[in-house]
Structure 1
Amino acid sequence: MTNKTTKEYLDYFVKSQNPNFAVMLKGKWGAGKTYFIQDTIQEWDNASIISDSKINLKPIYISLNGVAKKNEIIELLKAKISPFLYSKGVKFTSDILKGFIKSTLKIDFDYDGDNVKDGNFNINFDPISIFKSSNDKINGNRILIFDDVERCKIPLDELYGFINDFVEHSQCKVILISDEDKIDDNHNNDSKFKYSLFKEKIIGQTFEIKPDTDQAIDFFLESMPTDIGKYFIESKDLIIKIFSISEKENLRVLQRGIFDFERLVSFIDNKLKTDEEKFIILFKNYLSYFLIYFLEIKTGNDDILSFQQQNHSSNEISENNYIQYNEVISAFKLLHSTKLFTPFKLSCFIKNGDSQELINEINSSIIYANGKEEKDWEKLWYWKLLEDEDFLILLEKVSHDFFTNENFHITEILHISGIMFSLIDSNLYNKKSKLQVIKRAKEIIEKCNLKDFRDTISSSTLTWGSWHKGYTSDKTEEFKALVKFTQELLEKIKREKSEQTVESLFYGITNENVDELYRKIKEYDENLGCRIESIPMLSKLNSKKFSKVIFSLNNNALLILTFFFEYRYFPEKTYANVTIEDKQRQEKDFLIDLNSEILTEINAKRNEKKVIRKYSLNELKVMIDKSIEKL
């Protein structure tokens, strides 16, 4: 049954005299139930003042989301009804309100239409009476619509008893809206009866609302700025096709996807829009993949990140390879996703709003890269899609370059190795063995300049992929071993660089900069992945070398350094609830050796007559002694 048929039935239902049953509109979250009924209400909304002594009721729409008591529903009804009674031009005579008066209601009058109150009086008013009593001064269909039934906190037996009062004892046309699948016999433990019994008693007809994608997209795009909205309108068929193939049937997720893509486009370089022809291609391609990823990720399918990423030799079959989307890619002649973006960067934007890295990729899109040629290994990455002649030529080139040249980025080495592993496993390459590939890869990696290599998102560049592509054979033991070798090499470099950072900081202390030590140790270090003070920093120093730095300082600088040691080993004096940690304990041996050097300096003959100097050094030694004792 279509939504159009449902609409026709509802039109008939609300005009009937006294149906004595309610209608249920059901559908999954995001199917468009609320939008459907609101659009229908607009057509039913004939509420207008037809005379000075009569009014027409509008359809009353109420959401039960979070409502916990029946009194709350009454208050919501009262809020909806009051505007009809408190309306400019209506003469609230006693014959209109007869039978409704119960408690106090303040009515303001403006008889002459000058927007100035001409008077008021208080009466008592029961809003429910309007629906239950017969009054020839109240015109219009008495339509009550209760949305989000499944989210109501009132026990089901109480809720349906309340609603049934309108169905059986008034001429109300009651429509209930819910995600019925979430209302089962165990939905509410406070209910004494089963939901099925209530439904049988109250609901006379049930209709399922299906997403009206065409109409919904028109609605979504109505508020779009003209400059970007035109591209969405031109892509309407594409959007409908993707949504249909996804089988999500959740228009709210689609709407959010369109909204987020509009936001993403607002970040890209405006210069890209100057070439209209290329921008249309860019918009179409990125919109397509964005919606595919958005619809899947937002419905819990994170494995969409593997879509079009060819893990040839993992020997693992994904539970969902999303090949249904290939129909869209082919029909609309989209570029392969690996030529456009890196999946985890797109995922980061969809999940967390992190846009910068994705924007950088879009701004440097291959669509605008005139004359930019893919490297041979990149072409070979798509080997399953190649013709035989092209495959053999590329394989020979890539193999030769790999075993003769060394001018590769570390990520290229991993990609080429992975491709070769997959071809060897597929019996398509036999000139070299896996062991020879691994040996060669390690040789090149060790010669790479890794000092400036950055892997900013949890080592994903090494473990997931790069160049917008996942590593082939990434699940094989050979590839994992190669990644581990690379990571260990990088960790060694990071340790060396972190030691250099600490040494540079402490060996570089002078009278002029000693007071900056507090600030500098709080700085975040990229190689360490933390603040410098968060590691056992002093354990990395040579006590004899550092003692020479100390002895070069003047007495004022020695005092500042003494305070620094107090800050380091007595943190509770600076911060509440902070105590000694393992990072300080690991520095104990260094402090013992350093104090030995300081004692020697104190007793040195050259300081025999320097009483202030000896005092300053001794104060430093005492502080270090206390620190050692505490550790």
Structure 2
Amino acid sequence: MGSENSQNSHIFDYLRYYKELNQPPRYAVMITGPWGCGKTHLIKDFLTETIAPNQKNRATPDFLYISLYGISSREQIDEAILRALYPVLNSRSANIGRKFGRGILRFLRFEVNVDAWDLLDKYTPRMYFFDDLERASIDPEACLGYINEFVEHGDCKVIIACNYSEIKNKDSFDRTLEKVVGKTLEVKPSTSQALNVFIAEFNEDSSKKLLSSAAGELRSIYDLSGLYNLRILRQSIHDCLRLLQAIDEGVLPDINLRRRMVLEFFALSLEVKAGRLAEVDLIERDSLRSAHRLDLSGSVRTPRLEAADERYIGLDFHETVLDEKLLAEFLFRGSSSSPDFSKHIHHHEGVV
């Protein structure tokens, strides 16, 4: 996301301090925060800006990035480190397991029966970044035990990214954590910076110009969603671009209507990606609302679209610029089969 921001500058400051320690710290640093908040991006930015420029001509890297996502054994972590140290092993021909195949050994000029891990000095890099601790299939405490070998025996500096809220057995995990991690820092999503970066990715055209001009309103809607997930934010911004490119200015020339359409669609996209809205909620929005309002017994639950109406001040999802059919097609299928978008545009009096 470029570089440090004011909300997370303390993390950059501490990681710089940690990196520059002359003696092995004998503890790891954990970066925590909810999924999609930007943990991985922030740490990679730090590594790229502070370490990568100094290792262009080095035979071995100063730092390694290792994803623990889906890892189910210590051997698989060893394999991931081996692949990171020797990128050639990621080629199709290099199918590695516990033993090197004869062809790979010849390729690397090693003796035939040498064990791959006998060749691996996994403590060579001075800094390691272990990502997605909570998503490992192996027990997270076992992961910490493995990582502790780098801290205690390898004299390495280690950064761990973990969504702590997703750890199941926290009491047991915390007992291991306090032996391995000496500092825990929480990432705060920088919505404004992220939004500007995501919009800047697009080619210059009228769609990008409209999104840029509506950035303040888009951020307000995102804040009202309560999601704090930058992946969802980015995906929803891309959804808006897709919509704008499909419904050109000739079909909907009024800039105020186009702007309103984008804001409505953006909020609905957030609701869909958060799992709070299904296709039926849009397709049958009017009948669901009527059934709820006519219910005197209280047995009919509040329609989810009504809940969304209450969440986003200033938006009415029952009086949208686009009709429910077109909205559902774009939100749940990514496009529309309609040959004439103009048939699906509502020029409501309240939409200006």
- How much does 1:130 deviate? 5.4
- How much does 1:166 deviate? 0.2
Structure 1 residue 2 corresponds to structure 2 residue 15: no
The structure richer in helix per residue is 1
The 1:301–1:157 alpha-carbon spacing in structure 2 relative to 1, beyond 3 Å, is closer
What is the rounded CA distance, in whole Å, between the counterparts of 1:28 and 1:295 in structure 2?
A: 16
- How much does 1:42 deviate? 1.4
What is the rounded CA distance, in whole Å, between the counterparts of 1:175 and 1:128 in structure 2?
A: 21
Whether the 8 Å CA contact 1:30–1:249 is kept in 2: the answer is yes
- How much does 1:176 deviate? 0.9
- How much does 1:359 deviate? 7.0
Q: Which residue of 1 aligns with 2:42?
A: 36
2:121 to 102, 114, 129: 129
SS in 2 for 1:30: coil
1:244 to 204, 223, 227: 223
- How much does 1:246 deviate? 1.6
Q: Which residue of 1 aligns with 2:127?
A: 143
Task: Please list every run of 5 or more consecutive structure 1 residues that lacks an aligned counterpart in the other structure.
Answer: 85-102, 109-119, 133-140, 187-192, 367-373, 383-467, 469-631
What is the rounded CA distance, in whole Å, between the counterparts of 2:63 and 2:277 in structure 1?
A: 43
Percent identical residues? 27
Q: Which residue of 2 aligns with 1:453?
A: none
Structure 1 residue 82 corresponds to structure 2 residue 86: yes
Provide Cα deviations, 1:491-547, integer angstroms capped at 9, x if missing partner.
Answer: xxxxxxxxxxxxxxxxxxxxxxxxxxxxxxxxxxxxxxxxxxxxxxxxxxxxxxxxx
- How much does 1:164 deviate? 0.4
Task: Please list every run of 5 or more consecutive structure 2 residues that lacks an aligned counterpart in the other structure.
Answer: 1-5, 89-100
- How much does 1:82 deviate? 2.4
Q: Which residue of 2 aligns with 1:222?
A: 200
Whether the 8 Å CA contact 1:346–1:358 is kept in 2: the answer is no
- How much does 1:357 deviate? 5.8
- How much does 1:234 deviate? 1.9
The TM-score normalised by the length of structure 2 is 0.75
AA in 2 matched with 1:59: F
What is the rounded CA distance, in whole Å, between the counterparts of 2:343 and 2:19 in structure 1?
A: 53
What is the rounded CA distance, in whole Å, between the counterparts of 2:120 and 2:317 in structure 1?
A: 61
Select the structure of larger CA radius of gyration. Answer: 1
What is the rounded CA distance, in whole Å, between the counterparts of 2:151 and 2:236 in structure 1?
A: 40
Say how many residue pairs are matched: 315
Whether the 8 Å CA contact 2:39–2:187 is kept in 1: the answer is yes
Whether the 8 Å CA contact 2:132–2:162 is kept in 1: the answer is yes
Q: Which residue of 2 aligns with 1:340?
A: 321
- How much does 1:66 deviate? 1.0
SS in 2 for 1:225: coil
Whether the 8 Å CA contact 2:26–2:151 is kept in 1: the answer is yes
AA in 1 matched with 2:172: K
2:25 to 7, 15, 19: 19
Provide Cα deviations, 1:302-345, integer angstroms capped at 9, x if missing partner.
Answer: 288569x797665668484643522xx3xxxx798615133464
AA in 2 matched with 1:300: G
AA in 2 matched with 1:37: I
What is the rounded CA distance, in whole Å, between the counterparts of 2:82 and 2:13 in structure 1?
A: 29
Structure 1 residue 46 corresponds to structure 2 residue 53: yes
The 1:20–1:341 alpha-carbon spacing in structure 2 relative to 1, beyond 3 Å, is same
AA in 2 matched with 1:76: A
What is the rounded CA distance, in whole Å, between the counterparts of 2:220 and 2:52 in structure 1?
A: 34
AA in 2 matched with 1:21: Y
Q: Which residue of 2 aligns with 1:325?
A: 312
Structure 1 residue 58 corresponds to structure 2 residue 42: no
The TM-score normalised by the length of structure 1 is 0.44
Match runs of 1:385-464 below 5 Å: none
The 1:325–1:73 alpha-carbon spacing in structure 2 relative to 1, beyond 3 Å, is same
